[in-house]
Amino acid sequence: MRVRIGLMWQRLSFRTQLFLPLGASFLAALILGGVLLQIFATGQLAEESEPRRRSTEAIAAALNNTLRASDNPRRTLDAFVHSLDTSSDIQFRTMEVDPTAPPRGGLHKPHGVPQWFVDLLAIPDMETASPVMIDGKRVGDIVSAPDMSADLFEKWIGFLALTGLVVVMMVLTGTIAHVLTGSALRPLRDLGEGLTRIRRGDYTRPIPVGGPAEIRQSCEEANALAATLAQLNQDNRELMHRLVSVQDDERRDLARELHDELGTLLFSIRAGTVALAEASQPAGHLGNSAQDLLRSVEALQQTNRRILDRLRPLYIGELGLSSSVETLLRNFRKQAPHIVLTDTLDPALDGMDGPLAQTVYRVIQEALTNVLRHADAGNAHVQATVASEMLVIEISDDGGGFPADNVFGRGLTGMQERVRALSGSLSLLRVEDRTYVRCRLPVEPAREAPVSG
């Protein structure tokens, strides 16, 4: 139970955690004031009625002495009763009157004082009675029943003043706390939003520095951390860009060597084999061997062309990116006729060159290679669109998906590094029984990126 209460308390906002104790303390102060009023008001009223009680006893004693000394006690008593003011707290009550009946000057609730307040005070019985004797016989009582209306009204006004003071203090304290928490929570909210942006990789927007000194220091430290991370991120991108450029240079050099050296040798071997096959036409056995050798040489030439195409797409600079991708798709359809491949290519692709064009080609090439080798798919779709200075590439298929513990293979990991070098993102998704390779590349930064070599 204590743990649950602690968790519920932690879920509350800071303002709620601050205002709940304040409100509880003011409510407790109001209840305590009512309890103290009940305790002390009752005793105070009893003490205030004590002089009246003694006065009543003195008047009764004097009257009894006068009656004992009088020749006509009854007449003397009547004269005393007629001399009493009807509005006075002291009255004479004969024995014929019901002693339980309220006296004429009893308790009257003043106007404006609620009954619950009168009941709250628990006013004791303030009536005092002293017997009047004639010839040893009790003929009545001198009764003092003070009117407590003024005292009740005074206590009610005091209670209202206490309640008003508590309410004013609560409103004043709540307003001050609201203003202070607002001035502290606003910088904290800005700090939290800034840290969220930093976690997402956005280091461009600084965190507003404000609030108390401790929060200002935290904002300044967070801005310094964002600047450091931005510099590290820029250095990392430049390093990755140089690595990608070096890899492209190595692939270009290797492709040139394969094309110039191995390609020339294979062409010479093919030419010699063709001449040997033509020269050995009368001898069947030698001709068959020459034909087998010719087929092997042609297979080597095709393999060499595929390796060259993977090392460096030579057609991008001459044909443009869009035509190069269409050639790649045609080759995929020839290689995998059992897969229905559709495409949606933006004509704006032809306006791209350099590392951006090579990255687009490599991403589509690597994704289609994975579809061919691992997906066991029946259909696939390639889409490349340019909108709002952002190039979006999406390759989807209806294959079996990817293992949960192996999202990116070696090929896609290399593509991810290449994409990150161009400030882009590469993700692998599984939605509604289809696998998506989605790449986002900024167009303008990629065009302005320096290319080494």
Q: What pLDDT digit, counting tens, does each position of 168-212 carry?
A: 888 888 788 777 777 777 888 888 888 998 888 788 888 888 877
Domain span including residue 444:
313-453
- Which pLDDT score is estimated for 453? 34
Residue 240 counted as domain residue: no
Contacts of 420 (CB under 8 A, 6+ apart): 237, 240, 426
- Which pLDDT score is estimated for 111? 67
pLDDT in tens, 358-393: 889 889 988 998 888 877 888 999 999 998 788 999
Mean pLDDT computed over 406-432: 78
pLDDT in tens, 124-157: 666 677 888 887 788 888 887 666 677 778 778 8
Residue 214 counted as domain residue: no
101 pLDDT band, cuts 50/70/90, is: very low
pLDDT in tens, 325-354: 888 898 889 888 899 999 999 988 888 877
The answer to whether 417 and 237 have CB atoms below 8 angstroms apart is: no
Question: Hunting for tokens 């009680």 — which residue is that?
Answer: 53
Q: What is the CA radius of gyration of the chain?
A: 52
Residue 189 counted as domain residue: no
Residue 253 counted as domain residue: no
Number of domains making up the chain: 2
Average pLDDT, the chain: 77
Q: Which of 144, 175, 206 is the last residue of a domain?
A: 175
Instruction: Give buried/exposed letters for 201-231 (b at 16+ CB in 10 A, else e).
Output: eebeeebebebeeebeebbeebbeebeeeee
Q: Which of 145, 175, 205 is the last residue of a domain?
A: 175
- 336: CATH: 3.30.565.10
105 pLDDT band, cuts 50/70/90, is: very low
- Which pLDDT score is estimated for 447? 40
Share of the chain above pLDDT 70, in %: 79
42 pLDDT band, cuts 50/70/90, is: low
Q: What is the amino acid identity at position 213?
A: A
Q: Which of 130, 160, 175 is the last residue of a domain?
A: 175
Mean pLDDT computed over 272-284: 68
Residue 153 counted as domain residue: yes
Residue 227 counted as domain residue: no
* Length in residues, the chain: 453
Residue 277 counted as domain residue: no
pTM of this structure: 0.46
| For the ranges 60-74, 227-241, 379-393, the one whose mean pLDDT is highest | 379-393
* Lowest pLDDT segment from 93-97, 277-281, 407-411: 407-411
- Which pLDDT score is estimated for 439? 93
Q: How many CB atoms lie within 10 A of CB 391?
A: 23
Q: Same domain, yes or no, for 166 and 17? A: yes
Q: Which of 369, 404, 391 is nearest to 440 (CA)?
A: 391
- Token pair belonging to 433: 């029984």
- Which pLDDT score is estimated for 126? 63
Residue 399 counted as domain residue: yes
* Lowest pLDDT segment from 309-313, 332-336, 412-416: 309-313
CA atoms of 363 and 306, how far apart (whole Å): 17
pLDDT at 98 over 60: no
What string of DSSP letters covers 262-293?
Answer: IHHHHHHHHHHHHHHHHHTSSSHHHHHHHHHH
